[in-house]
């Protein structure tokens, strides 16, 4: 047997405790958790091995572990854990460590890891959009809250698409995409075992595996139901699948709307027939999709938030990463809905203020994506793709 030199990292074990895994020292390796988890494979199941890595401070092992991403955080392991060591929280803390340290610039990850970073993270887009507002107010003769002759409000009069909103968001979006893609590639390398692994049985091209992952995991979130298949814990079913799916579909609807409007706007400059001008009329099909999406966002969010509040605090703790993401999406949804309401109500002051905040929060959602919990959209997909390539289902 090959010898393994263990290099414990006490600082890492400590930082893991800070990131939400405070209870890990109580673990006595009874391996109940590995059985409690219906998703854990027969060979090298989790999370017992992660618990020992975490308490020994084996940072490399834990952060390069594919299994932390396969955990869907149902908490069966924490419910059955005889010591209250809360393996689910430790897994969650390990994921948070990856959010924090995986991609450059890691100073953002540092800021994203604790509430103290929030003022700076909020301040950056707040200043950015304030400058835009100030610049555009100059074009309107110094008016910060302009209205049209008929009294209607057009946000474009201040937050002008062509030269401000669109370029800034495109830069932000593709920048974040670039960073997270690098992170995904780095993660893939970390997941890959040393040497060559022979996969026995039928093989599929990675594209088809990716398709399966997207359909089964992202669009329908079927594995949340698989979480219920474990040993009986005596607690009621969480029903997380519904809330999460509604949220994902809401994002899909809103992304679709954004894409159509962008295509109509920029494409319209080339092909006038497909031109779309904003604001859209309330009964426009695209607008209806957007509003249905916004409502779904609120419903999904409410379900997920209520579930977190109802959780047994002894066995499940929601950490700062959980609340940051929920908070930002709540802020995006509410500012979006209220800016529309104020706009239609022609309340010019609140309309522009709320829309300004909406832009701030949307920018936060996208720009900080690689270091936020939303990164799981990419990192978990990468992990699932990776194990499927090696013959595991999950």
Torsion of the alpha carbons at 154, 155, 161 and 163, rounded to the nearest 10? 110
Q: Which of 10, 42, 207, 285 binds other proteins (CB under 8 A)?
A: 42
Residue 296: how many CA atoms within 13 Å on its side-chain side? 18
Q: Which of 3, 4, 5, 43 binds other proteins (CB under 8 A)?
A: 43
Residue 320: how many CA atoms within 13 Å on its side-chain side? 21
Residue 384: how many CA atoms within 13 Å on its side-chain side? 26
Q: Please tell me whether residue 393 binds other proteins under the rule CB under 8 A.
A: no
Q: Whose Cβ is closer to other proteins: residue 85's or residue 348's?
A: 85
Q: How far is the CB of 96 from other proteins (least distance, A)?
A: 25
Q: Which of 15, 32, 92, 305 binds other proteins (CB under 8 A)?
A: 32
Q: How far is the CB of 86 from other proteins (least distance, A)?
A: 11
Buried b (16+ CB within 10 A) or exposed e, 69-80: bbbbbbbbbbbb
Q: Please tell me whether residue 40 binds other proteins under the rule CB under 8 A.
A: yes
Q: Please tell me whether residue 34 binds other proteins under the rule CB under 8 A.
A: yes
Rounded to 10°, the helix 320-344/285-310 angle is 140
Q: Please tell me whether residue 98 binds other proteins under the rule CB under 8 A.
A: no
Q: How far is the CB of 58 from other proteins (least distance, A)?
A: 15
CA neighbor of 39 nearest in space, from 65, 68, 71: 71
The DSSP secondary structure of 332-387, one letter per residue, reads HHHHHHHHHHHHHTT-HHHHHHHHHHHHHHHHHHHHTGGGSGGGHHHHHHHHHHHH
Q: Whose Cβ is closer to other proteins: residue 33's or residue 387's?
A: 33
Buried b (16+ CB within 10 A) or exposed e, 225-248: eebeebeebeeeebebbebbbbbb
Which two three-digit tokens encode residue 390? 């090696």
User: CA angle 28-34-36, nearest 5°?
Assistant: 105
Q: Which of 17, 18, 35, 376 binds other proteins (CB under 8 A)?
A: 35
Q: How far is the CB of 57 from other proteins (least distance, A)?
A: 20
Q: How far is the CB of 313 from other proteins (least distance, A)?
A: 14
Q: How far is the CB of 31 from other proteins (least distance, A)?
A: 4
Which two three-digit tokens encode residue 180? 């997270």
Q: Whose Cβ is closer to other proteins: residue 79's or residue 217's?
A: 79
Q: How far is the CB of 76 from other proteins (least distance, A)?
A: 9
227-256 footprint of other proteins as x/- string (CB under 8 A): ---xxxxx----------------------
140-159 footprint of other proteins as x/- string (CB under 8 A): --------------------
Q: Whose Cβ is closer to other proteins: residue 51's or residue 221's?
A: 51
Binding to other proteins in span 71-90, by CB under 8 A: 80, 82-84
Chain position carrying tokens 């988890």: 37
CB atoms within 10 A of CB 65: 22
Q: Whose Cβ is closer to other proteins: residue 48's or residue 386's?
A: 48
Q: How far is the CB of 224 from other proteins (least distance, A)?
A: 20
* Inter-residue contact 184 to 363 (CB < 8 Å): no
Window contacting other proteins (CB under 8 A); options: 1-9, 37-45, 204-212, 288-296? 37-45
CA neighbor of 358 nearest in space, from 88, 187, 158: 158
Rounded to 10°, the helix 240-262/285-310 angle is 150
Q: Please tell me whether residue 116 binds other proteins under the rule CB under 8 A.
A: no
How many chain residues bind other proteins (CB under 8 A)? 26
Window contacting other proteins (CB under 8 A); options: 9-17, 40-48, 180-188, 196-204? 40-48
Q: Whose Cβ is closer to other proteins: residue 45's or residue 146's?
A: 45
Q: Which of 15, 16, 20, 48 binds other proteins (CB under 8 A)?
A: 48
For binding to other proteins (CB under 8 A), which residues are involved? 28-36, 40-45, 48-49, 80, 82-84, 230-234
């Amino acid at each position: 047997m090959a010898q393994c030199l263990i290099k414990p990292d006490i600082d890492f074990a400590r930082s893991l405790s800070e990131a939400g895994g405070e209870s890990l020292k109580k673990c006595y390796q009874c391996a109940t958790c590995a059985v409690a988890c219906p998703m854990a494979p027969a060979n090298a199941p989790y999370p017992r091995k992660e618990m020992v890595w975490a308490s020994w401070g084996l940072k490399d092992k834990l952060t390069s572990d594919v299994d932390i991403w396969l955990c869907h955080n149902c908490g069966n392991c924490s419910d059955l854990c005889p010591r209250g060591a809360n393996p689910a929280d430790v897994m969650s803390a390990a994921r948070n460590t990856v959010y924090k340290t995986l991609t450059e610039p890691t100073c953002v990850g540092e800021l994203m890891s604790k509430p103290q970073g929030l003022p700076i993270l909020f301040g950056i887009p707040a200043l950015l959009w304030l400058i835009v507002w100030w610049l555009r107010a100059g074009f309107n003769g110094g008016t910060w809250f302009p209205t049209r002759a008929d009294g209607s409000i057009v946000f474009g009069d201040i937050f002008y698409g062509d030269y401000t909103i669109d370029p800034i968001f495109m830069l932000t979006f593709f920048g974040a995409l670039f960073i997270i893609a690098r992170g995904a590639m780095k993660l893939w390398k970390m997941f890959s075992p040393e040497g060559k692994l022979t996969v026995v049985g039928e093989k599929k091209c990675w594209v088809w595996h990716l398709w399966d992952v997207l359909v089964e995991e992202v669009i329908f979130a079927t594995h949340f139901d698989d979480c219920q298949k474990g040993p009986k814990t005596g607690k009621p079913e969480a029903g997380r699948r519904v809330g999460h799916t509604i949220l994902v579909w809401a994002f899909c609807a809103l992304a679709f709307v954004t894409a159509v409007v962008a295509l109509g706007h920029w494409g319209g400059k080339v092909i006038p027939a497909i031109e779309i001008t904003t604001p859209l009329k309330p009964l426009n099909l695209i607008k209806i999709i957007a509003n249905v999406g916004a409502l779904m966002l609120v419903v999904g969010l409410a379900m997920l938030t209520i579930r977190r509040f109802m959780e047994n605090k002894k066995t499940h703790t929601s950490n700062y990463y959980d609340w940051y993401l929920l908070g930002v999406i709540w802020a995006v949804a509410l500012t979006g809905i209220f800016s529309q309401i104020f706009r239609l109500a022609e309340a010019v002051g609140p309309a522009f203020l709320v829309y300004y905040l909406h832009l701030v929060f949307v920018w936060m959602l996208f720009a900080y994506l690689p270091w936020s919990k939303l990164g799981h959209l990419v990192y978990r997909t990468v992990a699932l793709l990776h194990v499927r390539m090696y013959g595991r289902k999950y």
